[in-house]
């Protein structure tokens, strides 16, 4: 029996009909033709695939997109384009807040450092890579040999084809594929709505559904100062997709961890996630309470707080997935089935042993986790001042060493970005630093115990609050000139400064390094074992299954489909009317306030126009901005988020409640025409050219 993906087993456990679920982030070189044919009666032809592949665009800033006109228009999410928007916004021209539209080609603004890639071909280079690594070679030597052959293949391809060429490691090292991309570096902004329309509902609605977001941003790709005329671009479907209609998503999922062993999942579920979750929640309360005390506090903590809230939601979603006996049980059953297959094969012994090595390493990691997080992880010292102090200390100690013997972040290769960041004069607020570090030291005492010698050394006989205040107010590390002086002077200058925060970093440095050494050793053991398992899995399954996500182009699929939550039916589509209803119900209060333009244009709109919708397609971070297409290969929407249940996607696919969220093509057109009154742009989308 061939090992089937997770959901097959899940379906079996659920007693569902043996129809394959809509699982998978499939390689374009090994698409799920059979499954789709069988379940939906649809043929994935080569021409259909090539057209979608070459219409799909990778945003190297970390997202996906697609060509949507023969004159080079590329659509992605507002939150993917945000980085570019921020870079040419200023106090006077706040494009993030106000939105943007280039009425003429001349008004289109060139992005500073945006690179788009369009996949042209995939070539299997597994044999050539493997041949370059002598049998028996392992660890660092094998890694070096691999890096060398990658560089050789990439260079050769680039010179031959002129395309950007990347060798991609798939199936945990089971296969190596060469991906060739057409590259665009002249990318210009055409249209962006107000962030408040794009990210309507803000953090409270993040990862939730129903939603009402116009999360789009439209660029135009140029070559030789003229718009690109792509052969392949997606035809715009003005009607969009109906409930139940089969759709496809073509994009670049960033990464997944679907092949973690049960030993690793258990650690993640029982130790790592509860810990991370509780840390995030204590910090969220800390910053929320502090923010409530004044507007200035709120402004200072805002970015940190949003990051924490976002992470907390993700962690809660991960924990919910792993605590679900059905989901977790399927992972356990899948591993057991795979191990059985291995046991039946002559060459399966190595892989079975690798499972045991991972479990043993995980145990060691669990043992050192409490001190590791606090000391080397820095959770007991959270503050920019402490981070800088430790960097100064370690830079002094590491820089004289040979490059290969240094801690990773002090290598020559990272030196420029390390220095740029160390000497950054971004504002650091003394009051916020004290608040953060007081809490971190309190947490340190909780976690390691008041009688722990390291804790006592750090506190120096003071309370966490008093000690944090003392350290933060007396350290000089927030002075950039001081940092530069110490960095230039090396270890001797650092020691001579006797800076109290640096001395705290020094006091915990020996244990921190020892913990890290143990941790990295065990992680290396795990990584090597995973590669062995990956190869064994590939030997059994080949490309009959999809590999973990690698920020390379993948095809997902599934119908437009609502779901049930807490006994309530959640319809697949929302409409523009829903946006106004939500705003009214919240008295138009932030973050549910409508941009003025939306208030003014309400009566002009067809309120029953579909706005957002969900499908069962298997997506993850990196898929943001992916086109959702119908069987005709037409653009029916754009992926912008997953619901909270889809956060399980890191570990495995779930089809009962997990959903991919798209902005509907019809809603986009309606907004462009009636709210933003940009008929030329709307027409270009519909006609496919200017």
Helix, strand, coil % (nearest 5) of the chain? 55, 15, 30
Token readout for 412 is: 């020559």
Helices (H), 162-223: 195-198, 202-205
Q: How many helices (H) and strands (E) does the chain have?
A: 26, 21
The β-bridge relationship of strands 627-629 and 246-251 is antiparallel
Helix (H) / strand (E) containing 156: helix 139-161
Residue 407 or 570 having the CB closest to a second copy: 570
The closest of 377, 386, 374 to 472, measured between CA atoms, is 386
Q: Does 578 bind a second copy (CB under 8 A)?
A: no
Segment interacting with a second copy, rule: CB under 8 A, options 114-122, 253-261, 462-470, 673-681: 462-470
State how far the Cα of 586 lies from the Cα of 196, in Å rounded to an integer: 15
State how far the Cα of 553 lies from the Cα of 64, in Å rounded to an integer: 9
Q: Does 336 bind a second copy (CB under 8 A)?
A: no
Least CB distance from residue 330 to a second copy, whole Å? 12
Residue 471 or 681 having the CB closest to a second copy: 471
Q: Does 120 bind a second copy (CB under 8 A)?
A: no
Pick one of 50, 123, 245, 431: the residue that binds a second copy (CB under 8 A). 431
Q: Does 581 bind a second copy (CB under 8 A)?
A: no
The closest of 302, 284, 285 to 429, measured between CA atoms, is 302
Residue 588 or 606 having the CB closest to a second copy: 588
User: Cβ distance 178 to 166 under 8 Å?
Assistant: yes
| Contact pattern from residue 537 through residue 566 relative to a second copy, giving x for each residue in contact according to CB under 8 A and a dash for the rest | ----------------------------xx
Q: Does 301 bind a second copy (CB under 8 A)?
A: no
Least CB distance from residue 281 to a second copy, whole Å? 5
Q: Is the peptide bond before 370 cis (omega within 30 degrees of 0)?
A: no
Pick one of 126, 130, 257, 288: the residue that binds a second copy (CB under 8 A). 288
Q: Does 139 bind a second copy (CB under 8 A)?
A: no
Q: Which of residues 312-331 bind a second copy (CB under 8 A)?
A: 312-313, 319-320, 323-328
User: Cβ distance 664 to 285 under 8 Å?
Assistant: no
Least CB distance from residue 325 to a second copy, whole Å? 5
Residue 3 or 469 having the CB closest to a second copy: 469
State how far the Cα of 617 lies from the Cα of 424, in Å rounded to an integer: 42
State how far the Cα of 143 lies from the Cα of 139, in Å rounded to an integer: 6
The DSSP string of 47-93 is HHHHHHHHHEEEETTTEEEEE-STT-EEEE-HHHHHHHHHHT--SS-
Least CB distance from residue 211 to a second copy, whole Å? 12
- Which residues, including other chains, have CB under 8 Å from residue 277's CB and lie 6 or more apart? 312, 315, 316, 319
Residue 161 or 457 having the CB closest to a second copy: 457
| Contact pattern from residue 390 through residue 429 relative to a second copy, giving x for each residue in contact according to CB under 8 A and a dash for the rest | ----------------------------------------
Pick one of 459, 494, 576, 669: the residue that binds a second copy (CB under 8 A). 459
User: Cβ distance 569 to 209 under 8 Å?
Assistant: no
**491-526 CB burial, b ≥16 within 10 A, e <16:** beebbebebbbbbbbbebbeebeebbebbeebeebb
| Contact pattern from residue 243 through residue 272 relative to a second copy, giving x for each residue in contact according to CB under 8 A and a dash for the rest | --------------------------xx--
Residue 208 or 511 having the CB closest to a second copy: 208
Residue 91 or 451 having the CB closest to a second copy: 451
Segment interacting with a second copy, rule: CB under 8 A, options 53-61, 76-84, 178-186, 199-207: 199-207
Residue corresponding to tokens 């259909």: 48
How many residues bind a second copy, per CB under 8 A?
Answer: 55
Pick one of 139, 204, 307, 370: the residue that binds a second copy (CB under 8 A). 204
Q: Does 449 bind a second copy (CB under 8 A)?
A: yes
The binding site for a second copy (CB under 8 A) comprises 203-205, 208, 269-270, 274, 277-278, 281-282, 284-285, 288-289, 292-296, 309, 312-313, 319-320, 323-328, 431, 434, 442, 445-446, 449-450, 456, 459, 461-466, 469, 473, 565-567, 585-587, 589
């Amino acid at each position: 029996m061939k090992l089937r993906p997770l959901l097959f087993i899940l379906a079996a456990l659920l007693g569902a009909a043996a129809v394959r679920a809509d699982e998978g982030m499939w390689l374009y070189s090994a698409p799920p033709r059979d499954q789709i044919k069988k379940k939906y009666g649809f043929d994935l032809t080569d021409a259909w695939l090539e057209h979608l592949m070459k219409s799909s665009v990778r945003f190297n800033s970390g997202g996906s997109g697609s060509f949507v006109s023969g004159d080079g228009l590329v659509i992605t999410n507002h939150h993917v384009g945000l980085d570019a928007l921020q870079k040419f916004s200023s106090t006077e021209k706040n494009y993030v807040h106000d939105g943007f539209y280039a009425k003429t080609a001349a008004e289109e603004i060139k992005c500073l450092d945006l690179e788009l890639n369009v996949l042209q071909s995939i070539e299997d280079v597994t044999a050539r890579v493997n041949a370059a690594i002598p049998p028996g070679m392992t660890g660092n030597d094998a890694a070096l040999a691999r890096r060398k052959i990658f560089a050789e293949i990439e260079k050769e391809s680039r010179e031959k084809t002129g395309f950007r060429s990347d060798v991609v490691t798939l199936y945990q090292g089971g296969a190596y594929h060469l991906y060739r991309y057409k590259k665009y570096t002249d990318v210009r902004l055409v249209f962006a709505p107000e962030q408040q329309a794009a990210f309507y509902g803000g953090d409270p609605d993040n990862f939730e559904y129903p939603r009402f977001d116009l999360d789009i941003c439209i660029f135009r790709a140029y070559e030789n100062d003229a718009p690109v005329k792509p052969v392949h671009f997606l035809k715009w479907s003005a009607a969009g997709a109906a409930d139940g209609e089969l759709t496809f998503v073509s994009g670049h999922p960033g990464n997944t961890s679907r092949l973690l062993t049960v030993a690793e999942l258990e650690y993640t579920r029982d130790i790592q996630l509860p810990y991370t979750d509780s840390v995030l929640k204590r910090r969220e309360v800390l910053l929320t309470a502090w923010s409530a005390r004044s507007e200035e506090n709120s402004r200072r903590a805002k970015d940190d707080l949003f990051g924490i809230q976002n992470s907390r939601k993700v962690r809660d979603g991960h924990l919910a997935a792993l605590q679900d006996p059905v989901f977790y049980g399927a992972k356990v059953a899948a591993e057991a089935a795979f191990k059985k297959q291995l046991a039946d094969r002559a060459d399966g012994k190595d892989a079975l042993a690798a499972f045991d090595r991972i479990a043993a390493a995980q145990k060691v990691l669990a043992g050192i986790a409490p001190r590791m997080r606090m000391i080397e992880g820095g959770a007991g010292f959270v503050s920019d001042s402490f981070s800088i102090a430790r960097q100064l200390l370690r830079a002094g100690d590491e820089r004289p060493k040979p490059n290969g013997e240094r801690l990773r972040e002090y290598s020559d290769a990272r030196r420029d970005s390390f220095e740029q960041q160390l000497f950054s004069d971004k504002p650091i607020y003394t009051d916020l630093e004290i608040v953060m570090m007081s809490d971190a030291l309190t947490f340190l005492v909780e976690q390691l115990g008041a009688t722990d010698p390291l804790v006592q050394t750090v506190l120096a006989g003071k309370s966490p609050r008093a000690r944090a205040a003392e350290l933060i107010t007396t350290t000089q590390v927030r002075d950039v000139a001081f940092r530069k002086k110490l960095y230039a002077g090396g270890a001797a200058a650092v020691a001579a400064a006797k800076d109290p925060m640096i001395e705290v970093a020094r006091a915990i440095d020996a244990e921190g390094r020892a913990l890290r050494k143990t941790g990295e050793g065990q992680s290396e053991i795990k990584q090597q074992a995973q590669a062995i398992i990956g190869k064994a899995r590939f030997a059994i399954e080949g490309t009959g299954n999809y590999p973990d996500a690698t920020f390379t182009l993948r095809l997902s699929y599934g119908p437009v489909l609502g779901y049930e939550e807490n006994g309530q039916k959640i319809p697949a589509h929302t409409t523009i009317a829903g946006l106004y209803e939500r705003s009214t119900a919240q008295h138009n209060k932030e973050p549910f306030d409508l941009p003025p333009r939306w208030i003014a244009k309400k009566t002009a709109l067809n309120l029953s126009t579909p706005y957002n919708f969900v499908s069962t397609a298997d997506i993850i971070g990196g898929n943001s901005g992916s086109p959702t297409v119908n069987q005709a290969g037409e653009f029916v929407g754009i992926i912008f988020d997953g619901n909270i249940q889809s956060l399980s996607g890191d570990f495995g696919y779930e089809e009962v409640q997990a959903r991919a969220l798209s902005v509907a093509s019809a809603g986009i057109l309606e907004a462009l025409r009636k709210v933003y009154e940009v008929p030329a742009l709307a027409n270009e989308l519909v006609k496919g050219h200017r």
